[in-house]
Amino acid sequence: MVQASINKLAHFIQSLRNWCVAHKSEAFILALILFVAAFCRLYRIGDYLTFLGDEGRDVIIVRRFLTQGDIMLIGPGTSIGNMYLGPLYYYLMAPFLFIANYSPVGPAVGVALLGIFTVWFVWFVTRAWFGKTAAVVAALIYALSPTVIIYSRSSWNPNILPFFSLLAMWAIWKVWHEKQYRWIPVAAVSLAASLQSHYLALLLFMPVGIFWLLSVIEIVKNRKPYKQFLLWSVLAGVLFLILMSPLAIFDYRHNWMNFNAIKVFFTERQTTVSIKPWKALPGIFPQLSEITTRLVGGYEPEVGQWIALSVLASAFLLLNGARRFAFTKEKKAVLLLLVWLGTGLLGLALYKQQIYDHYYGFLFVIPFILIGAVLGYISHKYRFRGMWWTVAALMLLVWVNLKASPLQYQPNRQLPRSTEVADFILNQSGTETFNFAVIAERNYEGAYQYFLDGNPRFRVIDPQNTKDTIAPQLFVACELPVEKCDPTHNAKAEIANFGWSKIENTWNVSGVNIFKLVHDYPTPSSTPSATLKKSK
């Protein structure tokens, strides 16, 4: 088996070499695009990556798995209720965290490498559907998109969604168009990975299910053998259930907590989702405009609206433009993209709460592929004029995205800051045990705690065991202006559980105000009850 794997790898490398020799110009352009993508994602990644409470929590959990064998049955929690994702992303993080010697940069590099591979995958899929020119356009704009870059250089569960959503749709394309039924399990695995990345990946089940059903109808209609299709479909179902089983086991052990939270989300719909699709129709185009603005238009709303209009109009023209031909591969690919986009937009329009950029992860690649398809079609149809129109449009899109590139801004240095603050606290704590808390608008203890956890003097206060967990000193990292901190009166549990306190010392480290609090037990005469007795 090992020898067979080696032979397959050698055959793949030889095939790749032969392709590069046969397509020198295209290989050079692709290599240049991938180099640009790698630079945008890996340049000073340790300084640019997002590292706040969620990211700290994730690496704490994965480090415990690697060092203590603490098996993970659930993944990150969502921002809605008591809903948790599956743990697949944590297991994907583990090898990169281990290779990086437990540095949080490791998983971020893993996401960046997947992001670079996604650029190649966008090129590969677009080339297979619409040709060389379309592939170059789609891959280059995707490589430079500011939003895509931001979500391709930090370790966060939604950041793997663009790759797995494209893989799911490519797999169902292989099933529907090419009748390669062994791709059905690939679609199922991709759906499981997407669903454990973000619950909005549920909207991927609609287009995948539609084209799987079309394959069934074609088999029945043409009376083709169905056993192979059925066997691969059963295997796909089994693999999907296996990948989702850790979350089911956790739910079973915890009184179906996750299932009940999901049920509440969909049944109590006043502030979550609507079940009336016709009410969502007016919101579809604004959603598309927002997506194109955030992904392709360089955050310029007018540019995003024009791109959205152009993409929609051109996509329907592509569907009708070859009426004299049969239902071609290109038209089938456009249909798949429009069904994928349409079901996604409808689902997002039914969602009543605020939609953030990463919610679009399962749709990230669609605008780029459609723009590539349109410009490739223009270049092919109008020859010399079309080529210049394509070059002009591509240069405009490149300029718009470069103008909004996140690399032009100074890095946030969230990871170095967390390290410096944690090291400073460890030095100032001396030989005594200590507790820790954070006061911030959008952060919590996880980012700093990752660097404190390994020290035996660090204690997390347990309200059920205060005797052993409340330390003589509490360090508070306040990310607000110093006049807004007031740590001795903050109601946060990590501070309130410490009890009566006073400030012994203050510092500022990397822009973070650090307070050292010690216990200040009130005298009997200063307690409310003593004062009341005295007044009587």
Which of the pair, 225 or 105, is modelled with greater confidence? 105
257-264 mean pLDDT: 78
Residue 535 falls inside a structural domain: no
Which of the pair, 14 or 29, is modelled with greater confidence? 29
Quote the pLDDT of residue 14. 80
Label residue 528 by pLDDT band (50, 70, 90): very low
Residue 532 falls inside a structural domain: no
420-439 mean pLDDT: 95
Which of the pair, 510 or 317, is modelled with greater confidence? 510
**Same domain, residue pair 442 and 312:** no
**pLDDT tens, residue by residue, 181-221:** 999 999 999 999 999 999 889 999 999 999 999 999 999 88
What strands lie across the sheet with 512-519, from one edge to the other? 434-439, 473-478, 512-519, 501-509
**Same domain, residue pair 394 and 455:** no
Low-confidence winner among 7-21, 97-111, 224-238, 359-373 (lowest mean pLDDT)? 7-21
Distance CA 419, CA 450 (A): 9
Give the containing element (helix H, strand E) for 508.
strand 501-509
**pLDDT tens, residue by residue, 279-295:** 667 778 888 899 999 99
Domain boundary among 408, 426, 443: 408
Radius of gyration of the chain (CA): 27
Q: Phi/psi zone of residue 299: left (φ > 0), alpha (ψ -120 to 50 degrees), beta?
A: left
470-476 mean pLDDT: 95
Residue 14, both tokens = 């030889």
459-475 mean pLDDT: 91
Taking the CB of residue 297, how many other CB atoms lie within 10 A of it? 25
Quote the pLDDT of residue 487. 94
Using a pLDDT cut of 70, give the percent of the chain over it: 91
**pLDDT tens, residue by residue, 289-312:** 999 999 999 899 888 888 888 888
The tokens 């129109």 sit on which residue? Answer: 389
Mean pLDDT of the chain: 88
Residue 158 has pLDDT above 50, yes or no: yes
**Same domain, residue pair 86 and 149:** yes
**Same domain, residue pair 18 and 137:** yes
Residue 437 in 3-state DSSP?
Answer: strand
**Same domain, residue pair 311 and 220:** yes
**Same domain, residue pair 249 and 351:** yes
**Same domain, residue pair 363 and 254:** yes
* Amino acid of residue 35: F
Residue 468 falls inside a structural domain: yes
**Same domain, residue pair 399 and 423:** no
Residue 285 falls inside a structural domain: yes
Residue 109 falls inside a structural domain: yes
Residue 179 has pLDDT above 70, yes or no: yes
Quote the pLDDT of residue 193. 96
**pLDDT tens, residue by residue, 51-68:** 999 999 999 999 999 999
Q: Which domain holds residue 504?
A: 414-524
Exposure string over 42-71, b if 16+ CB within 10 A, otherwise e: beebbebbbbbbbbbbbbbbbbebeeeeee
Label residue 536 by pLDDT band (50, 70, 90): very low
Quote the pLDDT of residue 520. 86
Residue 3 has pLDDT above 70, yes or no: no
**Same domain, residue pair 399 and 361:** yes
Label residue 377 by pLDDT band (50, 70, 90): confident
Residue 532 has pLDDT above 50, yes or no: no
Q: What are phi and psi of 77, to 5 degrees?
A: -80, 155
Residue 148 has pLDDT above 80, yes or no: yes
Give the predicted TM-score (pTM) of the model: 0.91
220-232 mean pLDDT: 89
Quote the pLDDT of residue 16. 77
Domain boundary among 408, 424, 443: 408
Residue 531 falls inside a structural domain: no
Low-confidence winner among 34-43, 385-394, 424-433 (lowest mean pLDDT)? 385-394
12-28 mean pLDDT: 82
- 421 near 477, Cβ under 8 Å? yes
Distance CA 44, CA 223 (A): 58
**pLDDT tens, residue by residue, 490-502:** 999 999 999 999 9
Label residue 533 by pLDDT band (50, 70, 90): very low
Residue positions counted in the chain: 536
Residue 89 falls inside a structural domain: yes
Give the containing element (helix H, strand E) for 438.
strand 434-439
Residue 87 has pLDDT above 50, yes or no: yes
**Same domain, residue pair 373 and 448:** no
Residue 533 falls inside a structural domain: no
**Same domain, residue pair 363 and 383:** yes
Alpha-carbon dihedral sign for residues 311, 314, 318, 319:
positive
Quote the pLDDT of residue 282. 74
**pLDDT tens, residue by residue, 315-371:** 777 777 544 444 588 889 999 999 999 999 988 887 767 788 888 999 999 999 999
Domain boundary among 374, 408, 442: 408
**Same domain, residue pair 327 and 456:** no
Number of domains comprising the chain: 2
Label residue 524 by pLDDT band (50, 70, 90): low
Residue 178, both tokens = 């090419």
